Amino acid sequence: MIRAEDGRSIPQHTRACRAGTPRSAGVDLKGQRCGTITEKIDLPWVVALQKNAVVRPMAIARYISHPQVLVDPHKEVRQWSLSDLGRSRIETLARSNALAGTRRVISSGEVKALETAQPVADALGCSLEVRDRMHENDRSATGFLPPDVFECVADQFFATPDESVRGWETARAAQERIVGEVQAALQDHQDGDVVFVGHGGVGTLLYCHLSGLAISRAYDQGPGGGGCFFSFGCDLGPPPQPWRPIEHLANSG
C-alpha cells in the first residue's frame, strides 16, 4: 500500500510514477513526487485534486531598448538623454496596461536607459534596479562617430564577433557580459514578470544567445532609433518573437 497526503491508502497498481514527467496534483509517494496520473485513476479525491490544481504560468521577461535619443557629438554617449519623441513613446507604454503583472524593472546605468526605465517603474509601483554592466557595447575607444561611419563599424562589430573593431569591445565579450547580467538578475527571482531596459546592440546579442543563433546583425532591431522589445521566459527560454516596436506591446494592454 501507498499512503497519500490525506492519509488514504492507495493500492500500488492504481498509481503510475514516471521519472522525469511533470508533477501530479500534489500526491506524495514514499517521499517522491510522481508523474502523470493514468486515465484509470478515477478516485474522487484524485479527481478533486486535478480539478483544483493551480497551474502557474511561466513568468515573462521582456527586454526593452531605449527609444530615440538627443544626439550630442560633444557629450559622452552614455550621458545622452531621450528626445521628446523617445519620451513620448515610453510614456505611452507606461500608461498602458501591457506590463501588468511585472514585479521588477531592471535597467542599464546609462542615462537614456534610466530615462526609459524610470517611467515604467513609476507606473508599476516598482523600485528601479540598476545593473551597470548591462551597458551598451563599449565604444569609448572611438567616442561619437558620424552615422554613416558608425553603421559601417557596427556591421564589422557583428560580423567579426571575436575581433575588436577600432578598439571597441568585441561582440563576444559584450554578449557574455549581458547574458551573465540577465542570468544573475533572474537567479533568485521569485514570481511576477520582469522588464529589462537596455540597448539595441547588447539586446541583439542577448536575443541571439537565447535563440541559439550565431551572432549576426541580421537579428538587430533595425532602423528607427530603438524603442523595441522581445520577450522570453524567466527560465531563459528562447524568445517566441523577434524585436518589435514597443507600440505592439502598448497596444496589447
Residue 110 neighbours by CB distance under 10 Å: 24
Q: Collapsing DSSP states into helix, strand and coil, what is residue 195?
A: strand
* Rounded Cα gap, residues 39 and 24, in angstroms: 13
* Rounded Cα gap, residues 105 and 67, in angstroms: 16
pLDDT at residue 222, rounded to an integer: 86
* Rounded Cα gap, residues 93 and 97, in angstroms: 8
pLDDT at residue 53, rounded to an integer: 52
Pairing label, strands 2-3, 128-130: unpaired
Q: Is the pLDDT of residue 22 over 50?
A: no
The confidence band for 127, taking pLDDT boundaries of 50, 70 and 90, is very high
Question: Is the CB of residue 24 less than 8 Å from the CB of residue 5?
Answer: no
Helix axes 200-211, 171-186, angle to 10 degrees: 70
Q: Where are the beta strands (DSSP E) in the chain?
A: 2-3, 9-10, 28-29, 32-33, 60-65, 102-107, 128-130, 193-198, 228-233, 244-245
Q: Is the pLDDT of residue 74 over 50?
A: yes
* Rounded Cα gap, residues 150 and 139, in angstroms: 10
pLDDT in tens, 24-72: 333 333 333 334 333 444 555 445 545 555 555 689 999 999 999 999 9
The residue among 44, 111, 46 whose CA lies nearest residue 82 is 111
* Rounded Cα gap, residues 238 and 234, in angstroms: 10
CA atoms in the 13 A half-sphere facing the CB of 41: 21
Q: Which three cell numbers stand for residue 7?
A: 492519509
Within its chain, how far is the Cα of 134 from the centroid?
Answer: 13
Least confident of 44-58, 136-150, 174-188: 44-58
* Rounded Cα gap, residues 218 and 32, in angstroms: 47
Phi-psi domain of 159 (left: phi exceeds 0; alpha: psi -120 through 50; beta: other): alpha
The residue among 191, 184, 159, 21 whose CA lies nearest residue 106 is 184
Q: Which three cell numbers stand for residue 242?
A: 523577434
Q: Name the strand (E) or helix (H) holding 97.
A: none
Question: Is the CB of residue 67 less than 8 Å from the CB of residue 227?
Answer: yes
- Which has more pLDDT, 253 or 216? 216
pLDDT at residue 3, rounded to an integer: 43
* Rounded Cα gap, residues 167 and 119, in angstroms: 34
Going along the chain from its start, the domains and CATH numbers come out as: 2-52 (no CATH), 60-252 (3.40.50.1240)
* Rounded Cα gap, residues 193 and 36, in angstroms: 28
The pLDDT mean for the chain works out to 85
